[in-house]
Amino acid sequence: MLPNSLKRINEQADGYDGIMLKSGIDIIEIGRLERSIERHPRLLARVFTPAELAYCLARHRPGASLAARFAAKEAVMKALGIGLGRCSWQDIEITREQGGRPRVILHNRARQLAREMGVGEINVSLSHCHAYAAAVALAESSFSEEPLMGAGDHSMVQKNSGL
């Protein structure tokens, strides 16, 4: 017999059947990304969307902002269980809500793969210090036949927390 506190937890969990959470995490040395960009300037346009570049390059420490978004893209790929090459870097866009929280917008192949997996929400948290940037992504999948997002959605926009 379960104690009352465990019974309440068990009853609350009953409403969440059919939900699976998958996580991804990434950390990158900011200087390493900055050196890569210096050697290969085209990397910026290959990895980041125009909106990401506009935001990051206007920041006090553009390298830290770019590295945080790079780590977030990698974390999202890991949370989705897709490797590099399954979608374009630009198919995963990290933007900001009005309050400053980052959000994930999936486009094209990344959006298609997420829909096939039943992913309805991706949360991401970004952080950086002097030398490193890190990100954690959490993808929520539903076991129902339809993903959690509406059929009329043209992009997959997810609310998140972090930088």
Q: 111 lies in a domain?
A: yes
Q: What is the reported pTM?
A: 0.77
Q: 13 lies in a domain?
A: no
- Whose tokens are 């999936």? That residue is 106
Q: 38 lies in a domain?
A: yes
Q: 56 lies in a domain?
A: yes
Q: Is 73 a catalytic residue?
A: no
Mean of pLDDT values over 142-158: 46
* 15 confidence band (pLDDT: 50, 70, 90): low
Q: Is 78 a catalytic residue?
A: yes
Query: How many structural domains does the chain have?
Result: 1
* 147 confidence band (pLDDT: 50, 70, 90): very low
Q: 14 lies in a domain?
A: no
Please report, in range form, the residues annotated as the binding site. 26, 74
Q: Note the pLDDT of residue 160.
A: 45
Q: 153 lies in a domain?
A: yes
Domain range enclosing 151: 19-159
Q: 27 lies in a domain?
A: yes
Q: Note the pLDDT of residue 16.
A: 52
Please report, in range form, the residues annotated as the binding site for Mg(2+). 26, 74
| CATH code of 101's domain | 3.90.470.20
Is it the case that residue 150 has pLDDT exceeding 70?
no
Query: Catalytic: which of 22, 60, 73, 78?
Result: 78
Query: Catalytic: which of 22, 73, 107, 128?
Result: 128
Q: Note the pLDDT of residue 20.
A: 85
In this structure, of 12-16, 21-25, 38-42, 82-86, the range with the lowest mean pLDDT score is 12-16
